[in-house]
Amino acid sequence: MLASYVAGAWHTAPDEGVVVVDAATGDPVAHVSATGLDAHRMVDHARRVGGPALRRLTFQERAAALRELATYLDAHKPAYHDLSLATGATRRDATGDIDGGIGTTFVFSSRGKRELPEGHLLADGDVEPIGKGGTFVGQHVYTPIPGVALQVNAFNFPVWGMLEKLAPAVLAGVPTIVKPATQTAYLTAAVVRDIIDSGALPEGALQLVCGGAGGLLDLLGGEDVIAFTGSAGTAAVLRGSNAVTRRAARFNAETDSLNCSILGPDAVAGTPEFDLYVKEIAREITTKAGQRCTCIRRALVPESLVDDVIAAVRARLDKVVVGNPRNATVTMGALVSLQQRDEVRDAVASLRRAAQVVYGDSMSVDPVDADATSGAFMAPVVLLCNDRDRSEPHEVEAFGPVTTLIPYRAPGDDVSELAVRGGGSLVGSIVSYDPDFVATVVAGAAPHHGRLLILDRDCAGESTGHGTPMPQLVHGGPGRAGGGEELGGMRAVKHFMQRTALQGSPGVIAALISGR
Ligand code: NAP
């Protein structure tokens, strides 16, 4: 039974709860239940103990605490990697989640050290002269919100998903309650236990709920932040809660998205960009078995290059070894659960109404070192949608190893019009060495995307890839992607702070800012 961390003590539910099983073997891993959990005590503890303790620290002390925390977790990460295998992730997949999460914490620590002031007040922009005589000025400042940050996270990044929100909240001086997705909560819980044991953060800075979020939302309001990652459906439920609609809790959503990757007409077979494009598609749909919110779901390809792309993607996917991630020869593990696999199969069936399968079979797989009936395995699937009027490829998210090729006419079509049919995305990529094509697509697609990767032979060596959010850059996107924003350097810290316009005499304002 996973314990929750509530008001300084570990709470174990008295009932059986939900049994979570190993994604690859079907063996039980943990029981998860929030029965008996006192939501009121948690919120109260965060507000009365965690918040004040964090706010007593200066920005610089919080940055130092984050470094101590990241160093501690880094030393303990082999245990997280072992545990992560039960989620279906390969060891390579786990690097993005575990090392990525710890790395993000290090980045926030060092950026905070470099960019935040010594004291407790963060100035925003310059002093605004208001009075003609210069005796009355304005200055925007940020201070930590006095409430709590409730994280509600998706199953696919149990470590990174928590740390990428925790690090900026700590820098801001705001306590966190984390509610991981039930399916992979055991991994988050293991890391939370180490965070508590590390002593790097003051008591109350982090609490954990394993199981349903229950009454927590009922207790939140204008002093608090709800930071959600998951499906658009759940985001709509939370966004419609009284906490948000009546009491004006801040709400940030990172949801699903039909991300595209666009191949430029110049990038014909034999060019470096063509190879980069194909490599990226194959890597995206097989990393974490395609269970990344940023995964390429729509591959927009010039009509004349479709056959070449299919052939090249097929050659790469033929080398993929699906199976138990504990077997070293396996390159693609399992989906997180049989239920998730069935949902992906259903989504592929919906896509097939508009598209034909040109690679793979969602219903058939022969996993290495595993049983296809008890493990949540699925082979990579590529579809081709030749009918540009169909909406399915732009609307149906198959959250697994699935992508759909969509041909466009070049010259003729404005490919950014196809890109924006996703209704707002976390990320898109443009793979081309033609600056005019790139400029046209960026102008059309940027307002509909949180991030755009322009991939070519010059940056490929250092590129972090289509699917990887970086702590320095914005993660989030408009419309279907949730309309939220995370990361993006120190902007992320401000999401947990209140911006206030101070007005007064220049001397008083300057003294407040400098902390003297
Ligand atoms: P989900 O079913 O929406 O669940 C997300 C979280 O919400 C889980 O912790 C879940 O808890 C919780 N939850 C569900 N109903 C709730 C309610 N009524 N009140 C409070 N919490 C509730 O999503 P998922 O299946 O875990 O994740 C897959 C989806 O997330 C995909 O669509 C993917 O695209 C999206 N995603 C987006 C991002 C991003 O950054 N944009 C990142 C990762 C995933 P339980 O598990 O206990 O039900």
Whole-number Å distance between alpha carbons of 220 and 43: 8
Does the pLDDT of residue 371 top 80, yes or no? Answer: yes
Q: What is the pLDDT of residues 72-85, one digit of tens each?
A: 999 999 999 999 99
Please give the radius of gyration of the chain, using alpha carbons only, rounded to the nearest integer.
Answer: 24
User: In the structure, what pLDDT confidence band is assigned to residue 412 with cuts at 50, 70 and 90?
Assistant: confident
Which of 254, 292, 293 to mutate to test ligand 1, by most ligand atoms within 8 A of the CB atom? 293
How many A from CA of 126 to the centre of ligand 1? 40
CA dihedral 464, 466, 81, 184 (to 10 degrees): 150
Which of 231, 285, 396, 399 to mutate to test ligand 1, by most ligand atoms within 8 A of the CB atom? 231
* DSSP H stretches of helix in 225-321: 232-239, 242-245, 272-286, 306-317
Ligand 1, atom nearest to 152 Cα: 9
Whole-number Å distance between alpha carbons of 297 and 281: 9
Q: Do 22 and 57 meet the contact criterion of CB atoms below 8 Å apart?
A: no
Q: Give me the pLDDT at residue 516, please.
A: 63
Whole-number Å distance between alpha carbons of 425 and 414: 18
Q: What is the pLDDT of residues 463-481, one digit of tens each?
A: 999 999 999 999 999 999 9
Ligand 1, atom nearest to 153 Cα: 9
Catalytic (active-site) positions: 254, 293
Does the pLDDT of residue 411 top 90, yes or no? Answer: no
The closest alpha carbon to 268, from 317, 315, 318, 312, belongs to: 312
How many A from CA of 183 to the centre of ligand 1? 10
Q: Give me the pLDDT at residue 313, please.
A: 98
Q: Do 421 and 254 meet the contact criterion of CB atoms below 8 Å apart?
A: no
Nearest CA to ligand 1 atom 34: 256
- In the block, tokens 């959250």 appear at 399
Q: Do 28 and 147 meet the contact criterion of CB atoms below 8 Å apart?
A: no
The residue length of the chain stands at: 516
Number of Cβ within a 10 Å radius of residue 461: 6
The closest alpha carbon to 84, from 29, 164, 6, 136, belongs to: 29
Q: What is the pLDDT of residues 102-160, one digit of tens each?
A: 999 999 999 999 999 998 999 999 999 998 999 999 999 999 999 999 999 999 999 99
Nearest CA to ligand 1 atom 40: 254
Whole-number Å distance between alpha carbons of 262 and 431: 6
Ligand 1, atom nearest to 212 Cα: 47
How many A from CA of 311 to the centre of ligand 1? 35
Q: Give me the pLDDT at residue 489, please.
A: 87
Does the pLDDT of residue 514 top 90, yes or no? Answer: no
Whole-number Å distance between alpha carbons of 50 and 134: 41
Whole-number Å distance between alpha carbons of 242 and 236: 12
User: In the structure, what pLDDT confidence band is assigned to residue 210 with cuts at 50, 70 and 90?
Assistant: very high
Whole-number Å distance between alpha carbons of 514 and 126: 14
How many A from CA of 27 to the centre of ligand 1? 23
Which of 229, 336, 487 to mutate to test ligand 1, by most ligand atoms within 8 A of the CB atom? 229
Does the pLDDT of residue 293 top 80, yes or no? Answer: yes
Q: What is the pLDDT of residues 30-63, one digit of tens each?
A: 999 999 999 999 999 999 999 999 999 999 999 9
Q: What is the pLDDT of residues 157-182, one digit of tens each?
A: 999 999 999 999 999 999 999 999 99
Nearest CA to ligand 1 atom 35: 230
How many A from CA of 353 to the centre of ligand 1? 27
Q: Give me the pLDDT at residue 213, please.
A: 85
Kind of pairing, strands 449-455 and 425-431? parallel
Which pair of structure tokens corresponds to residue 67? 């470094």
Q: What is the pLDDT of residues 222-271, one digit of tens each?
A: 999 999 999 999 999 999 999 999 999 999 999 988 999 999 999 999 99
Number of Cβ within a 10 Å radius of residue 504: 15
Nearest CA to ligand 1 atom 42: 293
pLDDT above 70 covers a percentage of the chain that reads 100
Q: What is the pLDDT of residues 435-456, one digit of tens each?
A: 999 999 999 999 999 999 999 9
How many A from CA of 229 to the centre of ligand 1? 6
Annotate 159-227 with DSSP letters as a single string: THHHHHHHHHHHHHT--EEEE--GGGHHHHHHHHHHHHHHT-S-TTSEEE--S--GGGGGG--TT-EEE
Which of 31, 37, 93, 152 to mutate to test ligand 1, by most ligand atoms within 8 A of the CB atom? 152
How many A from CA of 451 to the centre of ligand 1? 21
Indicate left, alpha or beta for 153 from its phi (over 0: left) and psi (-120 to 50: alpha): beta
Q: Give me the pLDDT at residue 205, please.
A: 98
Whole-number Å distance between alpha carbons of 152 and 240: 15
Does the pLDDT of residue 497 top 90, yes or no? Answer: yes
Nearest CA to ligand 1 atom 14: 234
- In sequence order, what are the beta bridge partners of 475? 486
Which pair of structure tokens corresponds to residue 443? 């102008």
How many A from CA of 100 to the centre of ligand 1? 20
Any residues with CB less than 8 A from the CB of 288 and at least 6 apart, and which? Answer: 89, 93, 96, 156, 333
Nearest CA to ligand 1 atom 43: 293
* CA geometry: angle 207, 473, 95, nearest 5 deg: 60
Pocket of ligand 1 (CB under 6 A): 152-156, 179, 181-183, 212-213, 229-231, 234, 237-238, 254-256, 293, 397, 399, 426, 482
pLDDT above 90 covers a percentage of the chain that reads 95
Q: What is the mean pLDDT of the chain?
A: 96
CA dihedral 269, 274, 279, 280 (to 10 degrees): -150
